[in-house]
Structure 1
Amino acid sequence: VAIKKITLQGLIRKEGTVNELMVVKMNKNPNIVNYLENYLLHEQLWLVLEYMDGGTLRDIIKETQMSEGDIATVSRECLQGLDFIHSNHMIHRNVKSHNVLLRTDGSVKLADFGLFAHLPRGQSTQSSVAGNSGWMAPEIMAGQPYGPKVDVWSFGIVGVEMVERKVPYWNETSVSPQLLIATEGIPKLQQPELFSALLHDFLSCCLQTDEARRWSSKELLQHPFVTSAEPASSLVPLIMSVKRRKEKK
């Protein structure tokens, strides 16, 4: 198992934070890291989690160039997790490559629910600002009400990461990468001819600045790029290769 400690002191809506984490514990899904137990000790929430022995998606991206097939498989697994979250009236709000965990059997799971938002019945949007600037959707940056599709935008940025091995505009300028994306649009892939029209279209469907035109996680699961993906077990050689490479360092 793995243990994660969350300091609650100073957090707004402590009770809400704990409740949202408990929702995930109660609603298990193959693409969500399992929360096994929790303890509240001296303003710290201790979470006992299943151990993901394959590291993070960020580790994979840093160590190697992913194939288009692997990108499709990871995308399907992540979108299945997001669809589960959204179907349960929740928003992750912190989707990024660091929060996608893997196992050596090929499993891909979403993690880190510290910024989770729960949408009460009858409410379809949130307004509080949360997330990481490099992956944050334009509507959050603009201070507008937002819904579950902010997670789709964030995953679209993860998709660009998997292709380009970096977050768009990250560390290239003193200006916020998210501000540049919102004003100048998603940068073109450096070598677009190396990737299929399906991949280009998939990323476009994720990264519409107009939330109404952006596809939902459920719709993206029906995108041809995703439906063509291999089983999760096909990721085992990639995960094991990166794991061995890291162990040698």
Structure 2
Amino acid sequence: MDVASAAPARRREQRRLKEAARDAKIIENLRAICTDADPTKLYRNMVKIGQGASGGVFTAHSVDTNMSVAIKQMNLEKQPNKDLIINEILVMRESAHKNIVNYIDSFLHTGDLWVVMEYMEGGSLTDIVTNNMMTEGQIAAVAKETLEGISHLHAKGIIHRDIKSDNVLLGINGEVKLTDFGFCARLNDMDAKRRTMIGTPYWMAPEVVTRKDYGPKIDIWSLGIMTIEMIEGEPPYLHESPLRAIYLIATNGTPDLQSPTTLSSLCRDFLAKCLEVDADVRPSASEILQHPFLAKADKLRSLAPLIKASREARKNAAK
């Protein structure tokens, strides 16, 4: 091998060794977090309810308590960002709250990571918004509960960074809980700012897509976009490519509503506050929780008929 071809080969080998060392360290950290037990002896009646790029999601029952749980099963070899998994487990473990999906346990088993959490039988908010028309009282109820979860994270110095209807789960009686903490960022100092463009483009705040410094208020913008989902059934620009959506968010700022006159002035004002382009002016989670629109929130049980209708629609679609 000549010198010219040896250098790139050496660099590749160095990179491979570096990645292997990093992966070994992550596995070591996971072993420290996970329970040293065989989960197949602790959970029974596993039924697959979803499939992602890196593994499946199952429902199961605890052998000890017969409680229903959800289990995320991930093949670690197929995980490009193993550090995000540790992040997700740690955030869930440290963030017990009525509006955050409850973490139960985690296991390393035959090369797979099992993350056990409470099972939210009502499905995701996405199922609701695509199958139902929501009233303002119902929209206010979901927004308020989600904001309480966000406010709890922010008080602990954590930004969620991926607030959207897919990441809000519902209980059968209308409980509302945040999930999916892989993209969370920790701010050791709440004045600290970050610049990484992460999340899902259609819900990203202008300061994220333009790669400016940003803080916890990006979650408030995303909540505003999620509120539009509840009104219109989808976020703005969903039919554009992600790259085009990023351009439109940067260029247009606050998106237009399809039928603003059908909304109450309180709802329009709530949206305007959440979707304020200037992050310095945009309210914090604790501030927007005081908005009078949220006082219109219906009881959570008012969401139960929507959940039932969505479950029926899912069953019919599967036939």
TM-score with structure 2 length normalisation?
Answer: 0.72
Residue 75 of structure 1 is matched in structure 2 by 143
Structure 1 moving runs of 4+ over 3 Å: 5-10, 40-45, 172-175
- Matching of residue 198 in structure 1 with residue 266 in structure 2: yes
Whole-angstrom CA distance in 2 between matches of 1:91 and 1:182: 21
Residue 72 of structure 2 is matched in structure 1 by 4
Residue 164 of structure 1 is matched in structure 2 by 232
Q: 1:145 to 1:171 in 2, by over 3 A?
A: same
Residue 102 of structure 1 is matched in structure 2 by 170
Would you say the 8 A contact 1:54–1:243 is kept in 2?
A: yes
Residue 312 of structure 2 is matched in structure 1 by 244
- Matching of residue 183 in structure 1 with residue 251 in structure 2: yes
Structure (1 or 2) with the larger CA radius of gyration: 2
How many correspondences in the alignment? 247
Would you say the 8 A contact 2:160–2:219 is kept in 1?
A: yes
Whole-angstrom CA distance in 1 between matches of 2:190 and 2:204: 25
- Aligned ranges for residues 132-151 of structure 1 at < 5 Å? 132-151=200-219
- Matching of residue 51 in structure 1 with residue 113 in structure 2: no
Would you say the 8 A contact 1:36–1:48 is kept in 2?
A: yes
Q: Indicate the SS of the match to 1:176.
A: helix
| Unaligned runs of at least 5 residues, structure 2 | 1-68
Whole-angstrom CA distance in 1 between matches of 2:278 and 2:146: 22
Report the AA paired with residue 213 of structure 1.
V
Q: 1:43 to 1:137 in 2, by over 3 A?
A: farther
Would you say the 8 A contact 1:5–1:47 is kept in 2?
A: yes
Which 10-residue stretch deviates more, 232-241 or 94-103? 232-241
Residue 21 of structure 1 is matched in structure 2 by 89
Which 10-residue stretch deviates more, 128-137 or 101-110? 128-137
Residue 221 of structure 1 is matched in structure 2 by 289
Q: Indicate the SS of the match to 2:123.
A: coil
1:65 Cα deviation from its structure 2 partner: 1.4
1:84 Cα deviation from its structure 2 partner: 0.5
TM-score with structure 1 length normalisation?
Answer: 0.91
- Tell me which protein shows more strand as a share of its residues: 2
Residue 212 of structure 1 is matched in structure 2 by 280
Whole-angstrom CA distance in 2 between matches of 1:47 and 1:70: 31
Higher relative contact order (CA 8 A, sep 6+): 1
Q: 1:187 to 1:20 in 2, by over 3 A?
A: closer
RMSD value, Cα: 2.1
Q: 1:213 to 1:104 in 2, by over 3 A?
A: same
Which 10-residue stretch deviates more, 21-30 or 61-70? 21-30
Would you say the 8 A contact 1:17–1:116 is kept in 2?
A: no
Which 10-residue stretch deviates more, 211-220 or 185-194? 185-194
Residue 186 of structure 2 is matched in structure 1 by 118
Cα shift readout 1:95-151 (whole Å, capped 9, x = no counterpart): 111111001111010100111111124652222221111111111112222111111
1:246 Cα deviation from its structure 2 partner: 2.3
Task: Give percent identity, aligned residues only.
Answer: 43
Report the AA paired with residue 215 of structure 1.
P
1:10 Cα deviation from its structure 2 partner: 3.7
Cα shift readout 1:163-206 (whole Å, capped 9, x = no counterpart): 11111011146852132122123332222221101111101111
Residue 155 of structure 1 is matched in structure 2 by 223
1:68 Cα deviation from its structure 2 partner: 1.1
